[in-house]
Structure formats: C-alpha cells, structure tokens
Chains A and B, each alone.
Chain A
Amino acid sequence: MASTNDVVIKIATVNGTGSASANGLLRKAIFRMGVPVVGKNYFPSNIQGLPTWYEIRVTGDGYSCRSDRVDIMVAMNAQTYAKDLADVEPGGCLIYDSTWPRSSLLNRDDITIIGIPLSKMCNEHFDGVRARILMKNIAYVGVIAALLDLDLDIIKGLLEETFAAKQHLIASNMEAIHLGYDHASKHFPCPLPTRVEKMDATKGHIVIDGNTAAGLGCMYAGATVGAWYPITPSTSLMDAFRTFCGRYRVDPETGKRTYCIIQAEDELAAIGMVLGASWMGARSFTPTSGPGISLMSEFIGFAYYAEIPTVIFDVQRTGPSTGMPTRTQQCDLLSCAYASHGDTKHVLVFPADPEECFYMSVQSFDLAERLQTPVMVLTDLDIGMNDWMVPELEWDDSYIPDRGKVYGAEDLEKMERFYRYLDVDGDGIPYRTLPGVHPKGAYFTRGSGHTKLGAYTENSADYKEVVDRLLVKWETARTMLPEAEIRHSKFNKAAILTMGSCDGACKEALDRLEKQKIGLNYCRVKGFPFTDAVREFIDQHEVVYVVEQNRDAQLRTLLINDIEADQRKLVPLLHYDGMPINAGFVVDGVLKEIAKGRAA
C-alpha cells in the first residue's frame, strides 16, 4: 500500500463513547486538505455498549461509495478486536491501545501493529472520566495525523471553529492530538508510505448527510407542516428541519413560528396529519422508514384516490419486519410503489446522494402539488445518515413553488359551479380548491366511490371514469419526473441500470471494468413511473444488469410491470446484506455473468 490519497481508515469503538466528534475531526481535516473523503457509520441498534465503526475512505479519485478494504484499523474495542485485526488488508496497519497488553495469539505478520498507550497518556494528562475517554479519541486522531502526514494547522483550525466559545477546550484537544502525534512519530516510522497529500479537489464541495440535506430542502421548499413518528434512520431528517426552522422560521420579535412540527402518536396519525395539512393548503411532509410505510398504507391509498398531495420520505432500512434497523437497503420499492389496497400506484423519486436529497425534496413538493398525489422520496440509511462529499448546494432565488391547479377566490367567483374531479385540461389532473377560500369551492373529500363531479357513487360507469382518469394522470406524471442519468456509447451492447445510492458503486465499477476493456453503458433511474428514455435505453441493449440493494429484485419487477421491459434481458445483481453496496460487488457480479457466457 504505497500510494497517496487512496487509503481507508476504519475506527472500531464502542457505542456511546463519544468517538463521533473525533472521527468527524479526522474526516474534516482530510477534506480541508483538499482531498475527497467518504464517511460511513456502521452502528448497532443500541444506545450504549455495542460495537460501532466509522470508516473514512480517502479517495483522490473522488469516488463516493464504500470501499472494499481497510488499510488502517483503529482497534479501540476489545470486543471486536480479533475480527478487526482480521479485516486489515495485507500491508496495512492496526493501531491499538497498548495500555493493556495484547494476547500474543492476536498477531499478524503481514501488517504493521502500532501499539500506543492512549489510555495511559490521557489518564496522566487529563482529569475526569469523561474527559479522559473523549481525549483518548482525539489522541488516536493525532496518531493517524502522524501516520498519514495530516496538516496539524488544519486540525487546530477545525478545533478553533468547533470550540470558539470554549477556548480552554482548544488547548486540551490540541494537547491530546500531540500526545498521539508525538508518540507515534517517536516510536514508529512516520509518515507511512501511504499518505495524504494536499490536493485541490474539494473546493466548492461540502460533506453532508442526506437527511440534513432533505430537511434543508423541506425548509427551502416552504413546507410548513411536518408530522412524524420517530424511526431510525429517518429521525435526523425531522431533527434537521427543526434546527433550520428554529433558525429561519421564528419571528425574532414575537418568537412565533411559521412552521409546525407534530410528533405524532404513530405513523397512522403522522400520514393523516400531513394529508389534513395539505388538504388545507400547506406544504406538508412526513419522514419515515419501512415499518412506517406499512402503517401509512391505507391513508396513502386514500390520498391517491382523493387526490391529496403530500411528500413522504422513506429512508429505507433493512427489512423485513424490524429487520436490521441500523443497516441499509433499498427494500421498500414495491411496498411504496403500490402502497395500499385496491388499484393504486404512486410516484417515487430516488435521490442518489445528499445533493439530490436537497433538490429532489423541493422538486417533490412541486410534483406532489402539480399531480395532486403523494410523492415518496426513497432514500436509504446509507444516503440519509452517512457523510457524502457533494457540490455545494445552490438556491435559485427566482424559484416559485408550483402549487399546481388550485382555483382561488377570483376563479371561483367567476364560475357557475366547481366540480372537484373534472379533467378540464385532458392531462388527468383536476382542479382543486382550498378550504376557507370561497363558498363555491366547497366539496366533499372522500375515499369512497365518487363521480367526476365529486358526488358519492356506487355506479360502475361513474366509478370507472374516475379510476381510468387516474391512469391518464399517471402518464402525465411519467413526463414530469426527473429524467434518468444516462451514459451511452453505441459500441456497448450491455449496460448497468440502477437507482439511488447504488450510483457511486456502479460508476466506480464502470471505471474498473473499463480498465479490463469491458465497456458498459449506464442508466440511473431517478423516478417511478419510468420515463420514455428508460424504456428506450433498455430496448437498445442486449443485457441490462439491474443493480439494486434488496433480495427480490424489486426495481427489476417495477421495470417489467411499468414499462413491460423484456425480463430476459434484465439480469439482477442484488446486494442485500445490510452494508452499503461497493464497486467490488458490481464488478464481480458482472464478471461472473460474463464468465457464464453473458454478453458484456
């Protein structure tokens, strides 16, 4: 491992020991050196005491997915030590706290073992149990700084920003950094052949998680009502919305709020609340995860049929049932696409990273109101809770929300009578009114059979007329969804088709395959129903590897169902162990298929 800016550091700690800020410091320091980074959390469904890992991938090439190796392991957790040791790539190194002797059985000749008396040093230099634990974390950052030749001034600068209001903490944290840094420099050959060298590749970028970006998007979109029931991994989305609203949505004079966040009693209620709010004319949203979607389903079907907009974020986690709540998957496609009984289908969007979480959440409010239907934003734990380097977010100050077809008081005043479900424009989208605006706008919202005029019905023809019109709307939706990202070369007969957080792994895989002279085209769908370009893309290829993170090839099923894609062409590459997908998986999958005689 003698390279620059291509190294993977994994820190193994115990949940609840406050390592997050140390890990963040390390990740930021590398980013500030101008070198792209990826930060992944692997944490247990537990508050304190179980193993947790943070992985920092330093990637001069700017890849965004999880790596498939570990070069430097910081083994701070005795419980997982043996496994952590085994995970290190030959030629890599392992750092451990040598305050306590290690069993000689736990050794490896093919890696460098670096023992640093972290606890001992911190106990000597700091008072208080909590401070000693926290400083021990900061000290391992110092060790890595020495090994990788990180810029101490940048680290100091970061500490100064963090502790601007608590000067004494800057000094003590720097002291801890030096304890680690100096000890490593003195006793081990530093820096390692693998090191971090300054680049200029992070300018104009930020490192942010998807939930924060989506919460920010909701605030910028003008959402005023959010209802939710806490569930990992979606919780931090509402936390972010709350934080941003606390800053920008409180009248400084009166202290009054221009937003309303309701912690619902369950997801049955959360979805009811946002539908009530949207019906009343507020932009509303609810963040949840798979179990929440299951509970919301009846109301999602109601909203489809009664044509009420709202935005639902499903930050997917590993199912079925409670599954592995702190692991990632893309396993709710089908349950979201067809949520609820009866003939229903729903508009989905698939952001690939936090940048798209921001823009697509805004877009989802526009789509929901334009189409008068719930729009579901499907992200996952990997996007939602991990740290992604993305271009800085921009806001177009000329943006005007698309509130869709809403008759106001003046329109109604001029009308003889208003009918809620008439397809006036032929695009399958009727006009709606908001309560409290005008007496002529009143209508009765119901989930029972209704005619195009909005009246209750049990008449077959009248019923069919409305549900058939909803199919017209579905086709209109198809033309409005974000277009797929497509890379096409006429020389390639095979392609990868994927969505969401598989993007990084697939793109890196394409590069690796290219190096082996295997050229593949690429299509990343961004929404459901699928656009015509997706249909054409599949038609143009002999083999399409459908890469997704679930067991049952749900994306593939949707392609077959929605656009009658030829299923013989669609070769599933399924990653569903709960860890974020990586490039190696995709490369191996494609190579295996080629070895079986599948065209490349």
Chain B
Amino acid sequence: MTYIAKPKISLPNLPKNELGLTTRDYEGAVSTLCAGCGHDSVTAALIQAVFELDIEPHMLAKMSGIGCSSKTPAYFVSEAHGFNSVHGRMPSVTTGANAANRDMTYIGVSGDGDSLSIGVGQFVHAIRRNLNMCYLIENNGVYGLTKGQFSASADIGTKPKKGLPNQQEPIDPASAALALGATYIARSFSGDKEQLIPLIKGAIMHSGFSLVDIISPCVTFNDHEGSTKSYAHTREFYRHVANIDYIHPTEEIRVSYDEGEALPIHLRGGDTIVLRKVDRDYDPTSRADAFKHLRDRFNAGEITTGLLYVNEDRAEMHELMHNIDTPLSRLPYEGLHPGNDELQKLQSRYR
C-alpha cells in the first residue's frame, strides 16, 4: 500500500521527490550528539539519499545497536520504523526482520565498537548470509558513548587523549567484509557528502549485503593531534579510488564519461550505478585486486575511499533459501497449516 505523507510545512522552494515529499519529510528528531560529531553529517547524507531514492518512509526500517552512532536512527525519517536493539546485535534483528518481510528497505547504523568488538560475530554472519541490507559503520576509532576508549578500528600508533598510543592491529571493516564475501563494499568520510550520498544510494539499492564504512570523527574523544581518525588526518590521507553516480530510474544514462573511466553497473534489483574511476587501475569488481590495493594503500598510511568492491552475481538471503516472494509476515494463516485431516494422516507413523 502506498501512503504519501503530507508534507509537514510546505516550504515552496524545497525540491520534491517522486512521492511529492521534501527532505523535511525525511527528517527525524533533533540530534542530541555533540556539536560537530561526524555522525550528524552521516545522518544528513542518509536523509538526502533516501529522499532522492523516493523511499516511502514507512517502508523503511532503521536498525541499530548501541552507541552514539546507534542513536542516530532517531534523527532521520521519523515516519520509518526504528529498532534500537542491544549492543552489537543489530545484524541479528535485521536478519529476522528481513526474513519476515523482504519488501522493506533495511538500513542498519552501527559503530566501530558495535560492529567490530561486541557485535563482530553478527557482522560477519550477516555478510555470510548476504542479508539484503545497507550496513553503515560510523567509524571513529573509539567508543564515543562510553567516553573514548579505543575501539578495534584504532590504528597502530594512534594517540588517545590521555595514555599510551594503540599497539594492537586494527580491524578494517572493509577488508574484513571483502574477505568474508560481502557483495557491496564502500568507504567514505562523513565530511565528503558528494562522495558519500551516491555510495549510500548504491548501497541501499544493491540487492544483498552492502557495507559503507564511514570515517566519522568523534570531536569529543578522538579529534586531536596524533589521532588517525581526526578530521584533519582523514582529510590529509584520504584518497578516492572509484566514485559512483546513482542513476535514477527516470534518468537516462548519459555516457559522457571518458572511456575507461566510467562503467555502468546494473544492480540485481534493476537499478544502475555508474562507476567513475579516479584511479584508472583500480578494478572494484575484482576481489583480489581490491584486497591488494586496500592493503598496499593502508600500509602507505592512506585511507582508500569510494566503491571498493561490488559483485552483482550473488543471490541474497531469500533467493538462496528459495523463500516465497510474498513477505512471510503477510501470508494468510489458512495456507500455513494442512488442517486436521492431514494431522490424522501424518500421525500414522507414530502408531
């Protein structure tokens, strides 16, 4: 069923999407995060992305765990259903919700603590199932909500506000996802809307598991000199390899890109993205290349961003399980049991 929510306050000059909604209709409650927190910029990018994708608010499920990052689903699309679960377990709730209703759009917002420590098992297994969802990690290298302890994404040598630099090997969610077989992997920066919005749009429209690892600085606990997740450090060492444009179904693909640098990619769901390579040698359809590139650039101290890997050949969870197209939660009860006659028959083997 389609419901077009009435615009809240009609500001005449705000552009409308196909549903007649403006970005205002995709907003949520007022953020309670620290002023300047990267997470708020991600929220803004998300609002723009779902607005541009014409997603009906009530067909969107906003899922999260616990952390500053996990609070953000309250700050976008108030007419979407939100599920702020327990720490590290957003993926399992999303898996079950998606199992029950494959018609919804699932956006999961998580933090580096939520996904790479307490929830690392669930993160890994959502990838393994190729769960059809857009999974965002707002990666700040620390546990913001518990006041700044290092997270598992902290780089070797990065300095805390107080105490000794980190000496443990970081977990890079993008490389991990690549190794695990995720089918859409992107990285970006909360401060780079231009790059981030299309990457999120692609992630939402991709059928299967898509990860967007977003460097999202914590201004309160990890934005100082010596931190590798600060705004300044990220701006300095961050490199685009391949950006994308999302092609709205009503748009034509304008092949004005230079040969070899632009590549249309048809998503399983029918949408198209156009890949714009910044690094001519980078091939985001090759898992091995992507892996090598990420490692090499990481060792050089750089943060590789853009669409890092995409694979449109693999079926998502429901297809893999041969599930019916209708959402399971919408199936009428009559078809779900074979009745008393059959019960009597099937009991013959217990006599």
The interface of chain A, by Cβ under 8 A from chain B, is 31-32, 205-208, 216, 219-222, 224-225, 227, 244, 247-249, 251, 254-260, 262, 264-266, 268-282, 284, 298-299, 302, 392-397, 400-401, 409, 434-439, 441-448, 456
In this complex, which of B1, B100, B330, B331 has the most chain A Cβ atoms within 10 angstroms of its Cβ? Answer: B100
Q: Are B351 and A31 in contact (CB under 8 A)?
A: yes
Q: Are B99 and A260 in contact (CB under 8 A)?
A: yes
Give the distance in Å from the alpha carbon of A439 to the alpha carbon of B6 in the complex. Answer: 10
Q: List 9 A-B contacts (CB under 8 A).
A: A225-B328, A227-B95, A256-B323, A268-B121, A276-B83, A279-B93, A280-B327, A393-B343, A394-B340
Q: Are A220 and B343 in contact (CB under 8 A)?
A: yes
Chain B 94-129 interface mask (CB, 8 Å, partner A; 1/0): 111111110110000000000000000110110001
Give the distance in Å from the alpha carbon of A582 to the alpha carbon of B188 in the complex. Answer: 66
Q: Are A446 and B84 in contact (CB under 8 A)?
A: yes
Give the distance in Å from the alpha carbon of A442 to the alpha carbon of B98 in the complex. Answer: 17
Stretch of B54-62, B242-250, B256-264 on the interface side? B54-62
Of the candidates B82, B97, B342, the one whose C-beta lies within 8 Å of that of A444 is: B82
| Least distance between B89 CB and chain A CB atoms (Å) | 5
Is B336 at the interface (CB under 8 A from chain A)? yes
Stretch of B72-80, B200-208, B290-298 on the interface side? B72-80
Q: Are A447 and B86 in contact (CB under 8 A)?
A: yes
Q: Nearest residue in A to B342 (C-beta to C-beta)? A: A248
Residues of A within 8 A of B333 (CB): 222, 400-401
Residues of B within 8 A of A260 (CB): 99-100, 318, 321, 323, 328
Give the distance in Å from the alpha carbon of A260 to the alpha carbon of B129 in the complex. Answer: 13
Q: Are A280 and B84 in contact (CB under 8 A)?
A: no
A207-B350, A260-B328, A392-B347 given; A248·B338 CB < 8 A: yes
Is B193 at the interface (CB under 8 A from chain A)? no
In this complex, which of B101, B124, B337, B343 has the most chain A Cβ atoms within 10 angstroms of its Cβ? Answer: B337
In this complex, which of B81, B122, B321 has the most chain A Cβ atoms within 10 angstroms of its Cβ? Answer: B81
Is B5 at the interface (CB under 8 A from chain A)? yes
Give the distance in Å from the alpha carbon of A318 to the alpha carbon of B328 in the complex. Answer: 36
Give the distance in Å from the alpha carbon of A177 to the alpha carbon of B96 in the complex. Answer: 50
Give the distance in Å from the alpha carbon of A436 to the alpha carbon of B322 in the complex. Answer: 23
Residues of B within 8 A of A257 (CB): 321-324
| Least distance between B336 CB and chain A CB atoms (Å) | 4
| Least distance between A156 CB and chain B CB atoms (Å) | 16
Give the distance in Å from the alpha carbon of A424 to the alpha carbon of B335 in the complex. Answer: 33
Q: Are A224 and B328 in contact (CB under 8 A)?
A: yes
Chain B 1-37 interface mask (CB, 8 Å, partner A; 1/0): 1010100000000000000000000000000000000
Q: Are A277 and B99 in contact (CB under 8 A)?
A: yes
Is B285 at the interface (CB under 8 A from chain A)? no
Is B270 at the interface (CB under 8 A from chain A)? no
Q: Are B92 and A441 in contact (CB under 8 A)?
A: no
Q: Nearest residue in A to B61 (C-beta to C-beta)? A: A435
Q: Nearest residue in A to B28 (C-beta to C-beta)? A: A444
| Least distance between B5 CB and chain A CB atoms (Å) | 5
Q: Are B351 and A272 in contact (CB under 8 A)?
A: no
Of the candidates B58, B99, B340, the one whose C-beta lies within 8 Å of that of A225 is: B99
Give the distance in Å from the alpha carbon of A280 to the alpha carbon of B328 in the complex. Answer: 9
| Least distance between B56 CB and chain A CB atoms (Å) | 8
Give the distance in Å from the alpha carbon of A437 to the alpha carbon of B347 in the complex. Answer: 39
Known contacts A257-B322, A282-B329, A298-B86, then 18 further A-B pairs from the complex at CB < 8 Å, ordered by chain A residue: A207-B351, A269-B121, A273-B99, A276-B83, A277-B96, A277-B100, A277-B328, A279-B96, A284-B96, A394-B343, A397-B340, A436-B58, A436-B59, A436-B61, A438-B1, A442-B80, A444-B74, A445-B82
In this complex, which of A31, A299, A400 has the most chain B Cβ atoms within 10 angstroms of its Cβ? Answer: A299
Give the distance in Å from the alpha carbon of A513 to the alpha carbon of B25 in the complex. Answer: 73
Interface of A is mostly: mixed
Q: Nearest residue in B to A203 (C-beta to C-beta)? A: B351
Q: Nearest residue in B to A448 (C-beta to C-beta)? A: B84
Give the distance in Å from the alpha carbon of A281 to the alpha carbon of B59 in the complex. Answer: 14
Give the distance in Å from the alpha carbon of A456 to the alpha carbon of B71 in the complex. Answer: 11
A280-B329, A438-B58, A439-B57 given; A302·B339 CB < 8 A: no
The interface of chain B, by Cβ under 8 A from chain A, is 1, 3, 5, 56-59, 61, 73-74, 78-86, 89, 91-101, 103-104, 121-122, 124-125, 129, 318, 321-325, 327-331, 333, 335-340, 342-344, 346-347, 350-351
Q: Are B86 and A264 in contact (CB under 8 A)?
A: no
Q: Are A442 and B79 in contact (CB under 8 A)?
A: yes
- 10 smallest A-B Cβ distances: which pairs? A272-B92, A276-B96, A273-B96, A282-B100, A276-B97, A206-B350, A281-B329, A280-B100, A435-B81, A276-B93
Give the distance in Å from the alpha carbon of A247 to the alpha carbon of B335 in the complex. Answer: 13
Of the candidates A220, A265, A282, A444, the one whose C-beta lies within 8 Å of that of B99 is: A282
Give the distance in Å from the alpha carbon of A254 to the alpha carbon of B121 in the complex. Answer: 34
Residues of A within 8 A of B347 (CB): 206, 208, 392-393
| Least distance between A351 CB and chain B CB atoms (Å) | 17
Give the distance in Å from the alpha carbon of A441 to the alpha carbon of B84 in the complex. Answer: 17
Give the distance in Å from the alpha carbon of A251 to the alpha carbon of B323 in the complex. Answer: 10
Q: Are B99 and A262 in contact (CB under 8 A)?
A: yes
Of the candidates A205, A276, A443, the one whose C-beta lies within 8 Å of that of B92 is: A276
Give the distance in Å from the alpha carbon of A254 to the alpha carbon of B326 in the complex. Answer: 13
Residues of A within 8 A of B125 (CB): 264-265, 269
Q: Are A248 and B3 in contact (CB under 8 A)?
A: no
Q: Are A222 and B96 in contact (CB under 8 A)?
A: no
Residues of A within 8 A of B342 (CB): 248
Q: Nearest residue in A to B56 (C-beta to C-beta)? A: A439
Residues of B within 8 A of A443 (CB): 81-82
Q: Are B93 and A442 in contact (CB under 8 A)?
A: no
Q: Nearest residue in B to A255 (C-beta to C-beta)? A: B322
Q: Nearest residue in A to B333 (C-beta to C-beta)? A: A222
Residues of A within 8 A of B73 (CB): 444
Residues of B within 8 A of A282 (CB): 99-101, 328-329
Give the distance in Å from the alpha carbon of A254 to the alpha carbon of B324 in the complex. Answer: 9
Residues of A within 8 A of B104 (CB): 280, 435-436
Q: Are B343 and A447 in contact (CB under 8 A)?
A: no
Residues of B within 8 A of A441 (CB): 58, 81
Residues of B within 8 A of A221 (CB): 337
Residues of A within 8 A of B124 (CB): 265
In this complex, which of B56, B94, B129, B328 has the most chain A Cβ atoms within 10 angstroms of its Cβ? Answer: B328
Give the distance in Å from the alpha carbon of A251 to the alpha carbon of B82 in the complex. Answer: 33
Give the distance in Å from the alpha carbon of A276 to the alpha carbon of B99 in the complex. Answer: 9
Give the distance in Å from the alpha carbon of A208 to the alpha carbon of B351 in the complex. Answer: 9
Of the candidates A259, A277, A401, A446, the one whose C-beta lies within 8 Å of that of B97 is: A277
Residues of B within 8 A of A255 (CB): 322
Q: Are B95 and A269 in contact (CB under 8 A)?
A: yes
| Least distance between A307 CB and chain B CB atoms (Å) | 13
Q: Nearest residue in B to A358 (C-beta to C-beta)? A: B343
Q: Are A456 and B74 in contact (CB under 8 A)?
A: yes
Residues of A within 8 A of B122 (CB): 265, 268-269, 272
| Least distance between B105 CB and chain A CB atoms (Å) | 10
Residues of B within 8 A of A244 (CB): 346
Give the distance in Å from the alpha carbon of A400 to the alpha carbon of B336 in the complex. Answer: 12
Give the distance in Å from the alpha carbon of A124 to the alpha carbon of B335 in the complex. Answer: 54
Q: Nearest residue in A to B90 (C-beta to C-beta)? A: A272
| Least distance between A38 CB and chain B CB atoms (Å) | 14
Q: Nearest residue in B to A299 (C-beta to C-beta)? A: B86
Give the distance in Å from the alpha carbon of A517 to the alpha carbon of B151 in the complex. Answer: 71
